[in-house]
Amino acid sequence: MRKEKCAQVKEPNESENGQMKLQRTIGYFEGVSFIIGTIVGAGIFISPTGVLKYSLLNVGVALIIWTACGIISLMGALCYAELGTALPFSGGEYSHIKRALGSPLAFVFMWTAMFNKPASNAARALLFAEYATQPFYGECLPPELLKKCLALAVLWCLGILNARSVKMAAWLQTVFTVLKMLALSVIAIGGIALLIRGRKENTARFEHAFSSEIPDAVQIAEAFFQGLYAYGGWWNLNYMAEEMKNPSRNIPWTVMTALPLVTVFYLLVNVSYLTVLTPKEIVSSDLIALTNFFGFSIWLMIGLTCASLIVLRYREPNLHRPYKVFLPVAFGMVAIALFLVLAPVIWSPTVQYIYASLFMLAGLPLYLPLVHFKIHFQFIDKITCYLQLLLQVSPANDKSE
């Protein structure tokens, strides 16, 4: 009876022929707002500290890394745009890795993402709570319980909003994107105005930008982890591929608009920081997130996804691809991901990378019995059925099969 009840749930997105699919409600401007709003956040206030720290206070190197992070993010977004237009499934990287590299690696990705992405969102929410509560306490530190409660409330509100209405969530994202860009514009314009005045205390950091020590390969990789954390989120549009209007056109144009715009703003904001503060004053902040751990696992998955694009190009040459990225870009992304993942492990191994690797491999003991050998437990069906009824959701028909 319970299974029959689950099967009878009628979703508003169900088509006339009984196919379950998502409604296409997100256009070009909503997509641009979504990417910018997802990328721009607390990272631009936190990451400059880490980039300068691992750049050994070398201003020139730090600005080059910020520019390179923007270019790398654009390269990755263009690779994801090909996958998103050729295989516009809401599973995102999971669908692409499964199709190209097989179920085991796809399961490892999903296992990692199941913990990594919520943890990253929690870190961002806590950073928001830190900045939102600090003005009310002056020089004192806000209570930890208050920050955690505020962060939890933000996550709940955003989660409920996204579950209730994609259109409303897209509208709210647009509003917050405008507010974020206005805030960054104020910071950028203020710093540039001081720079134009030409006072020595404001221009001193740029007169000898490369005079400090040059970082080594490990420090450069860690500086990239910090900078790329601020650009994090460019891959999220692929999760909404099935909800995009005309995805073959809108996905590539969206990323080619949003990423260069974010890169320009980030450079201007960093120049403004360096106009007002010295590098030592910037790195004195203790607000660095767990970016090395997130960066290690995220860029391993990004490397696998870009490798999937290359594999599919040769394995399925006749697959309809409304947009095709220049193939060397995909090879470049795989090489960059390998460098970012392996450089710290080889030249400066620490226990956190061992923990990260063991955590990702910990999913395999679950994969073998439940997926590979297809051992079935009825209580899992009951839990799935209950959650579908409670949350009023149903999986879309899998067009990839």
Percent of the chain at pLDDT > 90 equals 21
Band the pLDDT of 76: cuts 50, 70, 90: very high
56 pLDDT exceeds 80?
yes
pLDDT single digits (tens) 15-30: 445 555 667 767 788 8
Residue 400 lies in a domain: no
Task: Give the pLDDT of residue 79.
Answer: 92
Task: Give the pLDDT of residue 4.
Answer: 41
8 pLDDT exceeds 50?
no
Task: Give the pLDDT of residue 290.
Answer: 55
Residue 394 lies in a domain: no
pTM of the model: 0.82
Question: One-letter amino acid identity for 275?
Answer: T
The better pLDDT of the pair 105, 19 is held by 105
Cβ atoms 400, 22 nearer than 8 A: no
Residue 7 lies in a domain: no
Q: The tokens of 303 are what?
A: 């490397």
Question: One-letter amino acid identity for 311?
Answer: V
Cβ-in-10-Å burial (0-12, 13-18, 19+) of 319 comes to exposed
User: What mean pLDDT, rounded, does the chain reach?
Assistant: 82
Note down the domain range covering 114.
23-128+165-362
Distance CA 93, CA 80 (A): 8
Domain count, the chain: 1
Distance CA 143, CA 208 (A): 42
Q: The tokens of 24 are what?
A: 């296409």
Interacting residues of 142 by C-beta distance below 8 A, sequence separation 6+: 130, 133, 134, 136
pLDDT single digits (tens) 336-348: 999 988 887 887 7
Distance CA 310, CA 189 (A): 42
9 pLDDT exceeds 80?
no
pLDDT single digits (tens) 179-190: 888 888 888 888
Residue 197 lies in a domain: yes
Cβ atoms 333, 79 nearer than 8 A: yes
Structural Rg of the chain based on CA atoms: 22
Residue 134 lies in a domain: no
Residue 373 lies in a domain: no
The better pLDDT of the pair 273, 201 is held by 273
pLDDT single digits (tens) 264-322: 999 999 988 888 888 888 887 655 575 666 677 888 889 999 999 999 999 999 998 88
Residue 316 lies in a domain: yes
Residue 3 lies in a domain: no
Distance CA 278, CA 293 (A): 28
Residue 76 zone, left/alpha/beta (φ > 0; ψ -120 to 50; rest): alpha
Looking up residue 327, the CATH number of its domain turns out to be 1.20.1740.10
Task: Give the pLDDT of residue 316.
Answer: 93
The better pLDDT of the pair 2, 297 is held by 297
Q: Is 73 helix (H, G, I), strand (E, B) or coil?
A: helix
Task: Give the pLDDT of residue 292.
Answer: 63
